[in-house]
């Protein structure tokens, strides 16, 4: 057991070591300072600016920034939709797969453009290589870059700078951060065994019984895999995502995947520290999230290590819960991966959350409810600071002044935006569709596990959509039949149709409403006259205040979902403790 905790601790150390390096680099990129890649990238970017017609000097207001996001994302979504819907005749379709049902294409498009990558399909059987390359690899860059742009615009606003230009931020996020790291990462992944080929499936007789054949699915995976992690996308090339030996063949690639998905959201807090010229505050916030994150890992890790008591009884000894887990990752790397992927809104999985012990369900759900245990690409950091603003507002009055954050007064407009953004969007996007589904479980549910876990399956799906995470309690029957099955006569189901459409609602509400609110919040903060710090000012860079913030996050963020957690994973835990029967 100790060895397991040791490898987890070491992984966290690696991540923390990368933070100041990548965080510092990102700060230079977004502040327009000189970086090592300038000589190479300045001409490339110049060309791209000319081709796209981006006016680099044009500053945007919060509302303009938000509108630019909506317009560009709409354009991208249309392109993706058209590519997938026409995959049947488009090139690079070695398996000859036809078009999925319209609702699957719609859901997939929205899911990927919102940086969620919730998958109501299996990569192998539903999509051509062309769709994966052109349709899905593309939003993995742009949606991540959109998130980063929002995060950086938010940081700029918070620190009193103009928000910047969305298109410039979008482009630079790709050319300076996502693409260079992806190029290197993809090469490492290929070397480590991740396929990168246009050749189709290999079918071979199995060793033990030559009358039975094995189909080895392949594809251009490596380049997809790195941006999937780095951009907190999480949509697997294959159905089973990073548990698949071709996506994540070894403990080495697993380490890279975890570091990849953690790198940007962790570093962005440091980037904030540079923008705010207050690294102490950045590290304190970092520490707060790290404590939450470590506590979560501990809870999941212990649960998985101790295993399923019912199975332990059958085996006559305590063994880890390996259901849905790969031998090469074991309980430790699976637990670490699960907490990291749900905390960062990546949604890739190297083990199946549906089969985790209830403590795993509790934590992964909490991760998505809170959205700040590192949080989504760019947006997570922004949420974190929005929580800080809310904490300042709730507790700041207690020092006898109008609450202020970074010298800017928190007034009605900020409270409206921050509280709406942090407190109201999620209940609307998760609880309402969740309640509808559970009111008609037989018609709409597609629930595969009985009882409390079934409830958790439904809530998890909406939480994953609303938080733009993308992972799932995958037993849920949320997929339409594959194009092959439809060609063979299968009919689309209303359950899958409901899931595709209702999660689209959660995806869109969970993405664009908060983004708009964040940008407006940043805009209004940036326009405020800063008040100088005095001893009467509530300092937000003290351990005390960060501790208070953690309390506010837990109370305000988690209380909303306490009934759900009680009726889901907590009840399931008591049920298992009592003995399944």
Pattern 310-349, other proteins, x by CB under 8 A: xx--xx---xxxxxxxxxxxx-xxx--------------x
Please give the full DSSP string across 148-200, using - where no structure is assigned: HHHHHHHHHHHTT-----HHHHHHHIIIIIIHHHHHHHHHHHHHTT--B----
Enumerate residues 6+ apart whose C-beta is below 8 A from 27: 33, 270, 271, 274, 275
Among 405, 452, 460, 498, binds other proteins (CB under 8 A): 452
Helix orientation angle between 451-466 and 432-439, rounded to the nearest 10 degrees: 150
* Touching other proteins, residues 126-155 (CB under 8 A): 133-134, 137-138, 140-142
CA contacts within 13 A on the Cβ side of 77: 19
167 in contact with other proteins (CB under 8 A)? yes
In angstroms, the CA 44 to CA 54 distance is 14
59 in contact with other proteins (CB under 8 A)? no
* Touching other proteins, residues 356-415 (CB under 8 A): 356-358, 390, 393-402, 407, 410-412, 414-415
Among 1, 13, 441, 527, binds other proteins (CB under 8 A): 441
Closest CB 100 distance from other proteins, rounded Å: 13
Closest CB 104 distance from other proteins, rounded Å: 16
Structural Rg of the chain based on CA atoms: 23
CB 367 within 8 A of CB 373: yes
Closest CB 464 distance from other proteins, rounded Å: 14
Which CB sits closer to other proteins, 27 or 564? 564
Among 34, 39, 208, 277, binds other proteins (CB under 8 A): 208
CB 295 within 8 A of CB 374: no
Q: Which residue is associated with the tokens 């698949």?
A: 244
* Touching other proteins, residues 485-544 (CB under 8 A): 485, 488, 529-532, 534-539, 542, 544
Closest CB 580 distance from other proteins, rounded Å: 6
Closest CB 53 distance from other proteins, rounded Å: 6
443 in contact with other proteins (CB under 8 A)? no
Phi first, then psi, for residue 287 (nearest 5°) are -60, -40
Closest CB 383 distance from other proteins, rounded Å: 16
**Size of interface with other proteins, in residues (CB under 8 A):** 195
Pattern 238-257, other proteins, x by CB under 8 A: xxx--xxxx--xxxx-xx--
SS3 119: coil
Among 103, 354, 478, 523, binds other proteins (CB under 8 A): 354
113 in contact with other proteins (CB under 8 A)? no
424 in contact with other proteins (CB under 8 A)? yes
Closest CB 434 distance from other proteins, rounded Å: 7
Q: Which stretch binds other proteins (CB under 8 A): 30-38, 277-285, 441-449, 494-502?
A: 441-449
Closest CB 352 distance from other proteins, rounded Å: 4
What residue ranges in 14-168 does DSSP mark as E strands? none
61 in contact with other proteins (CB under 8 A)? no
In angstroms, the CA 299 to CA 335 distance is 9
43 in contact with other proteins (CB under 8 A)? no
Closest CB 24 distance from other proteins, rounded Å: 25
Closest CB 241 distance from other proteins, rounded Å: 9
In angstroms, the CA 424 to CA 108 distance is 25
Question: How many residues are present in the chain?
Answer: 581
82 in contact with other proteins (CB under 8 A)? no
In angstroms, the CA 508 to CA 503 distance is 8
181 in contact with other proteins (CB under 8 A)? no
Closest CB 174 distance from other proteins, rounded Å: 7
3-class SS string, 295-307: HHHHHHHHHHHHC
261 in contact with other proteins (CB under 8 A)? no
In angstroms, the CA 465 to CA 241 distance is 17
* Touching other proteins, residues 541-580 (CB under 8 A): 542, 544-545, 548, 551, 555-556, 559-564, 566-567, 570-572, 574-576, 578, 580
Among 192, 486, 501, 513, binds other proteins (CB under 8 A): 192
Q: Which stretch binds other proteins (CB under 8 A): 22-30, 147-155, 213-221, 288-296?
A: 213-221
Which CB sits closer to other proteins, 382 or 421? 421
3-class SS string, 449-516: CCHHHHHHHHHHHHHHHHCCCCCCCCCCCCCCCCHHHHHCCCCCCHHHHHHHHHHHHHHHHHHHHHHH
Name the strand (E) or helix (H) holding 417. helix 412-419
Closest CB 386 distance from other proteins, rounded Å: 13
Q: Which residue is associated with the tokens 């009985």?
A: 450
Closest CB 28 distance from other proteins, rounded Å: 22
460 in contact with other proteins (CB under 8 A)? no
Instruction: Enter the tokens of residue 265.
Output: 């959201």
Which CB sits closer to other proteins, 27 or 292? 292
Q: Which residue is associated with the tokens 């940036």?
A: 526
Enumerate residues 6+ apart whose C-beta is below 8 A from 431: 462, 564
89 in contact with other proteins (CB under 8 A)? no
Among 308, 371, 468, 469, binds other proteins (CB under 8 A): 308
Which CB sits closer to other proteins, 21 or 580? 580
Among 61, 419, 493, 524, binds other proteins (CB under 8 A): 419
373 closest CA partner among 553, 114, 560, 112: 553
Closest CB 332 distance from other proteins, rounded Å: 8
Pattern 272-291, other proteins, x by CB under 8 A: --------------------
3-class SS string, 228-293: HHHCCCCCCCCCCHHHCCCCCCCHHHHHHHHHHHHHHHHHHHHHHHHHCCCHHHHHHHHHHHHHHH
Closest CB 73 distance from other proteins, rounded Å: 8
Helices then strands, counting H and E runs in the chain, come out as: 26, 4
């Amino acid at each position: 057991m100790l060895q397991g905790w040791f490898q987890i601790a070491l992984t966290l150390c690696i991540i923390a070591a990368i933070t100041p390096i990548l965080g510092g680099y990102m700060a230079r990129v977004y502040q327009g300072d000189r970086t090592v890649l300038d000589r190479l990238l300045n001409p490339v970017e110049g060309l791209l600016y000319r081709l796209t017609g981006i006016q680099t000097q044009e500053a945007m207001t919060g509302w303009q920034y938000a509108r630019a996001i909506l317009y560009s994302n709409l354009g991208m979504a249309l392109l993706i939709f058209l590519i997938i819907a026409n995959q049947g005749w488009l090139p690079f379709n070695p398996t000859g797969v036809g078009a999925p049902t319209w609702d699957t294409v719609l859901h997939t498009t929205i899911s990927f453009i919102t940086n969620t990558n919730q998958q109501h399909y299996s990569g192998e059987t539903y999509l051509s290589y062309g769709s994966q390359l052109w349709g899905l690899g593309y939003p993995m860059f742009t949606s991540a870059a959109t998130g980063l742009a929002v995060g950086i615009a938010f940081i700029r606003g918070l620190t009193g700078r103009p928000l910047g230009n969305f298109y410039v931020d979008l482009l630079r996020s790709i050319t300076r951060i996502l693409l260079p790291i992806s190029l290197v990462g993809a090469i490492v992944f290929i070397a480590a065994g991740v396929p990168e080929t246009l050749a189709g499936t290999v079918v071979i007789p199995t060793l033990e019984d030559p009358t039975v054949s094995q189909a080895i699915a392949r594809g251009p995976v490596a380049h997809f895999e790195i941006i999937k992690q780095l951009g907190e996308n999480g949509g697997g090339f294959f159905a089973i995502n990073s548990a698949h030996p071709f996506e994540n063949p070894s403990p080495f690639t697993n380490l890279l995947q975890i570091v990849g998905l953690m790198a940007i959201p962790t570093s962005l807090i440091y980037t904030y520290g540079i923008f705010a010229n207050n690294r102490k505050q950045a590290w304190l916030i970092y520490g707060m999230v790290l404590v939450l994150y470590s506590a979560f890992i501990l809870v999941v890790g212990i649960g998985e290590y101790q295993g399923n008591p019912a199975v332990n009884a059958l085996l006559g000894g305590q063994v880890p819960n390996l259901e849905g887990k790969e031998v090469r990752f074991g309980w430790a790397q699976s637990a670490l991966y699960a907490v990291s992927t749900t905390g960062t809104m990546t949604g890739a999985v190297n083990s199946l959350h549906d089969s985790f012990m209830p403590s795993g369900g509790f934590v992964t759900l909490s991760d998505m409810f809170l959205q700040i245990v590192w949080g989504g690409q760019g947006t997570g950091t922004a949420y974190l600071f929005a929580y800080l603003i809310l904490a300042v507002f709730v507790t700041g009055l207690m020092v006898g002044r109008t609450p202020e954050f970074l010298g800017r007064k928190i007034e009605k407009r900020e409270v409206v935006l921050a509280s709406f953004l942090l407190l109201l969007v999620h209940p609307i996007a998760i609880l309402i569709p969740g309640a509808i589904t559970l009111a008609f479980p037989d018609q709409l549910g597609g629930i595969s596990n009985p009882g409390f876990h079934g409830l958790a399956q439904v809530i998890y799906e909406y939480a994953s959509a609303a938080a733009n995470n993308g992972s799932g309690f995958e037993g849920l029957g949320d997929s339409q039949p594959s194009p092959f099955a439809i060609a063979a006569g299968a009919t689309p189901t209303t359950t899958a149709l409901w899931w595709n459409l209702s999660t689209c609602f959660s995806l869109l509400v969970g993405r664009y409403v908060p983004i708009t609110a964040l940008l407006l919040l940043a805009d209004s903060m940036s326009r405020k006259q800063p008040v100088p710090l005095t001893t009467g000012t509530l300092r937000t860079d003290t351990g005390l205040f960060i501790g208070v913030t953690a309390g506010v996050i837990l109370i305000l963020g988690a209380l909303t979902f306490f009934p759900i957690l009680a009726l889901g994973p907590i009840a399931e835990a008591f049920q298992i403790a009592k003995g399944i029967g």
